[in-house]
């Protein structure tokens, strides 16, 4: 081994372009966005490989198979936000709304009734921290 091999190897590694992180599965498809009036995103919902993801601060906070559940989580975040529910804007894709409405119909409820039922269920399962 030459006494310059480490220097050459380090120079070669430095000259090579960085390899991007390759994610497995489909790319994220953003389906909903909860934003402040100024446009800053508070939370989002995305679909990847048939699974709904709740995104907070650019990271996956929760995963679910239920479109209605991800909408219920976004509504809960809006209620807990200091700006209040009225100060935030929730935009959903037609695909998310349709999937959530189908789930609600399977339970013989409207979408609003189903989301309220999911929130009531959450309240009975978890103690609210103030």
What are the distances in angstroms from CA 9 to CA 3, 15, 17, 34, 84?
11, 10, 14, 48, 56
Residue that has been written with the tokens 């991007």 in this structure: 20
In sequence order, the 6+-apart residues with CB closer than 8 A to the CB of 104 are 68, 110, 111, 113, 114, 115
Instruction: Map 57-109 to HEC letters.
Output: CCEEEEEECCHHHHHHHHHHHHHHCCCHHHHCEEEECHHHHHHHHHHHHHCCC
Contacts of 39 (CB under 8 A, 6+ apart): none
- Give the model's confidence band at 82: pLDDT under 50 very low, under 70 low, under 90 confident, else very high: confident
Residue 23 pLDDT more than 70? no
pTM above 0.75, yes or no: no
What is the structure's pLDDT at 129? 56
pLDDT, position 57: 86
Q: What was the pLDDT predicted at 130?
A: 52
Eight-state DSSP code of residue 4: T
Q: Domain ranges for the chain, please list them.
A: 24-125
How large is the average pLDDT for residues 39-62?
A: 92
pLDDT for residue 9 is more than 70: yes
For 97-112, the pLDDT digits (tens) are 999 999 999 999 999 9
Identify the pLDDT of residue 71. Answer: 95
């Amino acid at each position: 081994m030459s006494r310059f091999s480490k220097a050459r190897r380090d120079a070669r590694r430095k000259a090579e372009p960085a390899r991007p992180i390759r994610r497995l599965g489909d790319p994220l498809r953003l389906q909903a966005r909860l934003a402040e009036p100024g446009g800053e995103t508070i939370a989002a919902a995305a679909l990847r490989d048939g699974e709904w993801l709740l995104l907070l601060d650019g990271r996956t906070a929760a995963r679910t198979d239920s479109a209605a559940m991800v909408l219920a989580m976004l509504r809960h975040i809006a209620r807990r936000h200091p700006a209040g529910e009225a100060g935030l804007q929730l935009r959903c894709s037609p695909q998310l709304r349709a999937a959530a409405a189908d789930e609600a119909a399977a339970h013989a409820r409207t979408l609003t009734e189903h989301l309220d039922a999911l929130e009531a269920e959450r309240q009975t399962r978890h103690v609210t921290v103030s």
